[in-house]
Chain A
Amino acid sequence: MSEGCPVCKKVVEESGQEYCSSHDKALAGLRGAYLTWLKAYGKLGFKDYLERVSRLPETGERVKEAAKFLAQHPERWNKSKL
């Protein structure tokens, strides 16, 4: 049985999905924006990226949750569909 979304522990409704729909969308957004950030700063590790994004007031709440989660679980970043 699924343990729920690793970020918020909510039940994951879609079979085969690891995260709930909200955090799945937030993670996709985070991954997508990393390339823009990398291009903007030239050199930027993903940990630094996640920390910066989660501190910005402009960042959406779901994205902040996802960024904090990935910062605590960096091994999950490599699972990202970059």
Chain B
Amino acid sequence: MEQIKTLIICEKPDAAGRVARAIDENGSPRRRDARGVPFFECARKNDTVIVCSALGHLYSIDSKSRGSRQWYPVWDCTWKPKHEIEKKSARLANWIDVIKSVSKDVDQFVNACDIDVEGSLIGLSILQYACHGAHLGARRMTFSTMTEKELKTAFSNMMPRLDFATAEAGRCRHELDWLYGINLSRLLTQASLKQGRGYATLSTGRVQGPTLGFVVAREEEIEFFVPSPFWLIDASIKHDGRIFQIEYAEDRVPTLEQADRIVRECNGQLLEVSNVETRHNRQSPPFPFDLSSLQAEAYRHFGYSPSRTLAIAEKLYLEALISYPRTSSQKLPPDIGYVEILKGIESRRNYAGLVRTVIGAGGLRPIQGPKEDPAHPAIYPTGQPTTRPLSGQEEKLLDIIVRRFLAAFAKDCLRLSSTIILTTGSHRFFLRGSQILEPGWTEFYQPYVRQESQEVPPLSVGEKVPLHSIRSLEKFTQPPPRFNPGSLLRKMEEENIGTKATRAEIIEILYRRGYIKETRIRTTPLAVLVTELLRKYCPLIVDPGFTAKIETLMDGIQQGSMIRRHVLVESLSYLRPAMLELMEREQDLGAGLSEVVVAQRVAELTFDSACPQCGSVLKIVRNRKSGKRFVGCSGKWEKGCGYSLPLPQFGTISLLRRKCKVCGFQMIQARSRGRRPLVSCPRCYAQKVNSSTLKGIRPKATEVQSGAVTRAM
């Protein structure tokens, strides 16, 4: 019998390991290593299966003509090995070489990268460029979890060809984003640089532009907000020795005169119960998690940024603990195998009781949300046991995913809502309460949902109760809340800006570029100016409607109703005239930008708090010999002041507006990729270090509490 040699391309080495273990008939594939690149040889009857992996994208876009990296406009682009484009991707050369060498004499090629636009494109570009055009005859493995069972099924039931339409949509997205980004970003950066006041990377793009536009627009709303006064009537009644808060019928009284009159007329009066209304409220379980709702929930409960949540979820996916997280589906189809998953979850002590309740209720039918994803179901736990102790963050995220999955099978929460209407003269008050009759899903989703009950006294119509207290409270309307990474991500999703896979990264880029800062997002003057310039000369770039339109065109490619070339031509027809206009004004743009860049650079390094020894300005200074940064006094040379404070040596430091609760010094935030931002008071930290040094103890950063060092939530 003829032997068949198959080459499977996976997206990441961990995924390759899992696929190889599932495919090997003994579950122990031979791990090989060539120039630091791992791949696996699996035995399967008489056949040989080689499983190798990419490291994300191995190919990327670059200008066709290899001109200067400062040159713009650029209208031609081509796909090249990533290591030829970026120095930091140098090690990918080995990856491509190894894939090339193992692809010789292969009879069958398979793309087993993630089932989404990026996964389809990663696999296709490797098969096309590294495997000598093998993409045309290659097959596609599709799976939503990395469990052995699903991977085996996926290998046995491969799609006969690659998902070309999905990959084409991905290719178009990359090309458009590159052309928009490279042209506009180079123009902004070069315009500023040509002013001779230092280099700063300035960027914008098809998704970045409107996203920054949202934040700037919100900042403007806050900056120009004029509050208006109104009054609240704060009242209570006393019944059987207990005090109950009541609401005045008009929740906002618009004038002082009216508020005073209400208080005057009601004070000391008996309120008569004019009606008692009761109503049963059914609250359905929350929909199963898609990526955005998981990111929002993880931010709300744990303070994880969207990018952190995605990174943790991907780890859990690669460990086969949850299904594929980059999904926009809120549906749990029966073919995922509810019973098997529930039995797997039951083996974990925390959930045994809940699982027994779900199974005991019979008729497993989870709630389904409205959102769909053609490639994946909603995020769900696989029920597989963990093979290593999970980190605290992984444990928390897995817990919320498991509980959300269990809650999906639970009954509605039934509440009895009561409203007692109390009147005196023409004034009406409401006494509201609610009682949980059947907790339903809320029992399964603890502690992520509140189970509050508010009692109401047993009053009947006609009964009279004395008013215990009444006063009017002067209040003011509030400006709209600032975005945080979670709410900004939701806004991007609502406006159809970016994809589920890229939104979190775009927000991180805005932080890295110095456009936004702090967790309750504030814009910097640079962001305001860049947005202002784009609004003036290239309004389409900050128009979410335009970006959403292009997203729809790209969805059309995926669905087969559009052609990549047409989408590219149409989209670029908007960019060309905008670029020409911007280039004509390069000098003016540069003057404005460089001024703000310099001012921001100074502001980023200068503390509000003055030097406690000489009163001079404190700044972030870098030691020329060691390269280490610290807080130094600008009075060093004039006044001989040697005051200094230590600073974290990792990440990007930004000065916060917040002052330390202990010493009043300006707090700082160190932000680095993949880590929670560290918020710290340099002065308290220095004091802690000094006192520990005297005692001969080296302090741990996490030990220092109460304003010295805290991990931002």
Q: Give residues in A with beta carbon < 8 Å to B.
A: 22, 25-26, 29-30, 32-33, 36-37, 39-42, 53, 56, 58-63
Contacts and interface: CB of A to CB of B under 8 A. Distances in A.
B478 interface: yes
Contact of A61 (B223, B228, B255, B476): B223
Query: What are the 10 closest A-B residue pairs judged by CB atoms, nearest first?
Result: A33-B226, A58-B227, A60-B225, A60-B223, A40-B229, A62-B223, A29-B226, A36-B228, A60-B224, A58-B476
B256 A42 contact: yes
B228 A63 contact: no
Interface string B212-231: 00000000001111111110
A17 to B, nearest CB: 16
B257 interface: yes
Contacts of B229: 36-37, 40-41
A42 B229 CA distance: 12
A63 B223 contact: yes
A65 B510 CA distance: 28
Secondary structure at chain B's binding surface: helix, strand, loop or mixed?
A: loop
Contacts of B479: 58, 60
A37 B223 contact: no
A42 B255 contact: yes
B477 A41 contact: no
Interface residues of B, number: 17
Contact of B228 (A22, A25, A37, A62): A37
Given A40-B230, A53-B226, A53-B227, 5 more contacts: A32-B226, A36-B229, A37-B229, A40-B228, A60-B223
Nearest to A28: B224
B254 interface: yes
Interface of B: 222-230, 254-257, 476-479
B255 A63 contact: no
A6 B223 CA distance: 18
A3 B197 CA distance: 26
17 contacts: A22-B223, A33-B226, A33-B227, A33-B228, A37-B229, A39-B254, A40-B230, A40-B255, A40-B256, A42-B255, A42-B256, A56-B476, A59-B226, A59-B227, A60-B224, A62-B224, A63-B225
Contacts of B223: 22, 26, 60-63
Contacts of B256: 40-42
Contacts of A56: 227, 476
A32 B228 CA distance: 11
Contacts of B255: 39-42
Contacts of B228: 33, 36-37, 40
B231 to A, nearest CB: 8
B224 A58 contact: no
A30 B254 contact: no
Contact of A60 (B222, B254, B257, B477): B222
